[in-house]
Amino acid sequence: MQNRIMITGAGSGLGREIALRWAREGWRLALSDVSEAGLQETLGLVREAGGDGFTQRCDVRDYSQLTALAQACEVKFGGIDVIVNNAGVASGGFFSELSLEDWEWQIAINLMGVVKGCKAFLPLLEQSKGKIINIASMAALMQGPAMSNYNVAKAGVVALSESLLIELAQEEIGVHVVCPSFFQTNLLDSFRGPTPAMKAQVGKLLESSPITASDIADYIYQRVAEGEFMILPHEQGRMAWALKQKNPQLLYDEMTVMANKMRAKARQSSQ
């Protein structure tokens, strides 16, 4: 382990906080994002925190950009030890309102972006016996209403991570999947949905969270060190997951009530 880490979506939010958490341990970082301005800002903060590295613009929908990033890691760092597939976008809307384009956009970034990240970096991770950290969401486990395309994409990230955990054990590559709930982040900047009301509702949930992206990054750092596979940073999330495992129908009933309330609210705001 030579303390070399690659993070997608590192230009802001959780990606930036993960970069800073590892930077404080003196790691070298390969930072990627579609926002070059955000990347430069993150790199400055990383250096202040005691780390160093380089930035490279990368759209995770484009596999050739991810393989180019892997090549850059090989040239500049001689390889990679940890990859964090964090780049993601938010969306919401009831299934009947979501277009197929909404589905394709969501899955191309939030699911296939992670698949492509794992694929592009696997040869380097086989050499270093490194680790994969995939950022999913509690939405992958809870399937809240009015976000089916997001739920499906993130559930795919969990299923991919479970598959890799089993397949890569013999290669001695560690795999971790992180499922945060709502937290204070700039996720709304990328939000795509059919109604402004939905965006406002998600915004309220993000703002009311007691936990910050920095808290989550710290929790991830600790749990990865302990070798935990499924990392659930929110206490409420851990409780909800335990409830679903014990009594899934109870959770479905609660979600149905929530969906009905959301529909009623949406109707009121459109009148």
What are the residue numbers of the active site? 150
What would the two tokens of residue 20 be? 């800073």
Contact call for residues 30 and 73 (beta carbons, < 8 A)? yes
Virtual torsion, Cα 241, 245, 250, 252, nearest 10 deg = 70
CA 166 – CA 49 distance, rounded (Å): 35
**Adjacent-strand bridge partners of 53:** 29
Cβ atoms within 10 Å, residue 27:
21
Classify 131 as helix, strand or coil.
strand
The two tokens of residue 231 are 């990392």
Question: Do the beta carbons of residue 22 and residue 221 sit within 8 Å?
Answer: yes
Q: Distance between CA atoms of 155 and 162, rounded to whole angstroms?
A: 11
- Provide the edge-to-edge strand list for the sheet that holds 174-178: 52-57, 28-33, 4-7, 82-85, 131-135, 174-178, 230-231
Decide: helix, strand or coil at residue 91.
Answer: strand
